[in-house]
Structure 1
Amino acid sequence: MGRRRKRSRPRLVPKRKLPTVFQCPACGATAVSVSVLKGKEKKVIVTCANCGLRGEYEYNQYLHPVDYFSRFLDDYEAGKLTVISKHEDENNAENEG
């Protein structure tokens, strides 16, 4: 004679999520965000909120924010990106208008 076995429930393992905020290659702050602008021209803008480093890319429905960040890193290492400070951006807006 033996006793009944207890049924064990399978453990739920949470799915891993892709990151949404990244580390800036220029200043090292965790302040890089990826935003998608859907208008006439679909663009993806990757910007650092700390130092102003910015990159613009064409929107592709098959790519995730991580993919755009990797393009951003590649462009930074190749020297294609420049740091735009807030003061320069304001001066450009005043000169144009």
Structure 2
Amino acid sequence: MATVFIPASLRRLCGDRHSVEVEGATLRQVIENLDPECPGIHALIVEEGMLRPGIQLAVNGSTAATGLLREVPADAEVQILPAMSGGAGEAPGRGAPPR
């Protein structure tokens, strides 16, 4: 079974668990099998059969360039990496001088 690590922003769907073990030979199967354990998570990760924009999946620390078709070894660690956003422009000391 693969161990799927759940980001803090999605743990409410998984009973506040940090990780869930599921079967699956590909990332598509892993995410489909994760949904019964974490109802609604599939819809937040997959849209029209593809990863939603801003979502990345990693297998054993390597991002999945082949998307949901990526093979998943039985003992793999899968990370769900939601997009990071925010900020308020350049950090002080970088780019334009402070105002």
Structure number with the bigger relative contact order (C-alpha 8 A, sep ≥ 6) is 2
Under a length normalisation based on structure 2, what TM-score does the superposition of the two structures give? 0.24
**Structure in which a larger fraction of residues adopt strand:** 2
Q: Greater Rg, structure 1 or structure 2?
A: 1
Under a length normalisation based on structure 1, what TM-score does the superposition of the two structures give? 0.25
